[in-house]
Amino acid sequence: MSSPSASRLVKAYLAGVGINGCEVHNVKSYLRQWLHGLGYVEGSKAVIPASYCRYRPTTVWEHLYFIKGAFETYGEFFMGDPHGGHPIVVFETGSKKLAKSLRLIGVTPLVTTDEARRRRFVVIYDRRDVKLFVKMVKPVVDDPHVAVALGLCKRM
């Protein structure tokens, strides 16, 4: 991945990782190893260069990589009822940049807060939007129950 367009995709992904600020805590292990190889890990946190944190995606591909970086750092699937409900996507960030990127790929996000109105979240509730998100972004799905609910596999 040494072409100029590939480096912009890496930059977009790292911008998604640094969406809540350049210091990133609780980085997933597979992502931590990659960031360590790039020299961006200091102690227990990853420190993304400021130029990446200010980066704004421009092409559709860049928006997809930006969303993927944000999801793999701050996102998760949540199933309120694992026996009949459909999964939703929750990002632990209220980033307007993320909401804009999601809208650009055809997903309608909800930007909301917790009950105390201290923490903001971007949430994808609609089943069609969740399926579109999975199809376009291709996020990592760790939970087999979620994978079945999303139709990624037939059974466990």
Amino acid 24: pLDDT? 93
Amino acid 102: pLDDT? 97
Query: 122 CB contacts (<8 Å, ≥6 apart)?
Result: 90, 91, 93, 94, 95, 98, 99, 102, 109, 110, 111
CATH number of 4-149: 3.10.28.10
Amino acid 82: pLDDT? 58
| pTM as predicted | 0.89
| Partner residues linked to 121 by β-bridges | 112
Sorted by where each begins, the domain ranges of the chain are 4-149
**Other C-beta atoms lying within 10 Å of the C-beta of residue 41:** 17
Query: 148 CB contacts (<8 Å, ≥6 apart)?
Result: 154, 155, 156
Cα angle: 4, vertex 24, 58; to 5 degrees? 30
CA atoms within 13 A on the CB side of 151: 8
Q: What is the pLDDT along the chain (156 residues), one digit of tens a residue?
A: 455 577 899 999 999 999 999 999 988 888 889 999 999 999 889 999 999 988 999 999 999 999 999 999 999 999 876 566 789 999 999 999 999 999 999 999 999 988 888 889 999 999 999 999 999 999 988 888 888 888 888 776
The pair of three-digit structure tokens given for residue 152, joined into one six-digit string: 């990624």
